[in-house]
Amino acid sequence: MWASTVTCQNLCPMELRWIMRSIESIGLMLGLAQSTLLNMMGQTIKILHLSTFSKPFSMDVFGDYFYWTDLAFSSIYKAHRFSLNASQKVVLHSSSTLYQAAIVHPSRHPTYNTTNYCANNNGFCSHLCVMGDDRPLCMCPYGLQLSSDKRTCKDHEPLLLYQTKETNIVYFAYTEDPFRWIYPPVKLHVTAFALTFDSRNEVLYWIEGRTIKRHMLKTYTTETFANLGSLVKLTALSLDCLSGNLYIGNSVQLNSEIRSQISVCSTGERYCSNLIWDSVRHVSDLAVDAVNRLVCGWSESVQQLTKI
């Protein structure tokens, strides 16, 4: 079953409705109801199947009616909430395709008989406060994690960075629970390779075609860090965690000659220069020993250590 939209009615009786695209119908879950088609977790499920449904997309509930958009007819319809196969009425028809529709009214946000647990000093949360079950629930923004007092956010623990081959998505997760994200995942281009990570500034670098890209986790922004020109083929990338410099394996086509070299760029001002160009062959991988000031290069024929 593929549900394309869901809406919740929090007044009495409690309702949860969804559109099932596969059978072009609307499902209804009631907290209190008389007739039962399917019982799940003590709740009552009804299927409100309207024969003239074509391609329902979005839905909302207000008053005694529920409203939905139909992609095939480019219209907004309404029907009575509690009637099976209720007759439909056209609310709006448009020459353009209608996707999302919603009812906006102050009564949709009731304040009576409710307590805002986040109103008093942000629920005593250091960052995010959401309404929990009869209490405030503290949460942390991306890049932070909740401390043991369940109220204060602190710097995150060491993160696990991994990339999936099938989708080319990079994940930033907790080491103890890889399914919990510290930062939102990043979708890379299919040509991306040679990933390296600046853990101090939390920036991801990679090679994409003839450019070096970077993604700043704290601001959720991606940009081109450097483009070394159309004659330069990028082959390897590594970061010096102390200086913050990027070391780049690359080759340059000079007439009939191909010259391999290792270049270095500062990540701050983006100044770039050639470091080694007369003693390397096709650098396919790089590693930097920041303590001993060594660049470790790997080529198809030799391994090389160079003091920097």
* Local structure of residue 260 (DSSP, 8 states): E
Domain ranges for the chain: 37-107, 121-155, 192-307
Handedness of CA 109, 153, 173, 242 (dihedral sign): positive
- Which has more confidence, 166 or 278? 166
* Bond before 13 cis per omega within 30 degrees: yes
121-155 matches 192-307 in fold: no
Sheet holding 272-276, edge to edge: 232-239, 245-254, 257-266, 272-276
| Mean predicted confidence (pLDDT) in 16-27 | 56
Query: Quick one: pLDDT at residue 290?
Result: 79
Looking at 2.30.110.10, 3.90.380.10, 2.10.25.10, 3.30.70.260, the CATH number of the domain 121-155 comes to: 2.10.25.10
Asked whether the predicted pLDDT for residue 298 surpasses 90, the reply is no
**Separation CA 84–CA 67 (nearest Å):** 15
Fold of the domain spanning 192-307: Neuraminidase (2.120.10)
d(CA 190, CA 229) in angstroms, rounded, equals: 21
Task: Please name the helix (run of DSSP H) or strand (run of DSSP E) that holds residue 287, with its range, or none.
Answer: strand 283-289
**pLDDT at residue 127, as a whole number:** 97
**How much is the pLDDT for 5?**
62
Q: What is the mean pLDDT of the chain?
A: 80
Token pair in block for residue 83: 């009637």
The distance from CA 216 to its chain's CA centroid, rounded to whole angstroms, is 14
Q: Calculate mean pLDDT across residues 82-102.
A: 81
Taking CA 225 as the corner, what is the angle to CA 221 and CA 228, rounded to the nearest 5 degrees? Answer: 155
Report which of residues 291 and 13 the model is more confident about.
291
Q: In sequence order, which residues have a C-beta less than 8 Å from that of residue 210 and are 6 or more positions away? A: 227, 228, 229, 230, 232, 233, 234
Residue 5 · residue 19 · CB < 8 Å: yes
Q: Is the pLDDT of residue 2 over 70?
A: no
Q: Spell out a b/e string for 216-245, using b for 16 or more CB atoms within 10 Å of the CB, else e.
A: ebeeeeeeebbebeeebbbbbbbbbeeebb
Q: What is the model's pLDDT at position 88?
A: 80
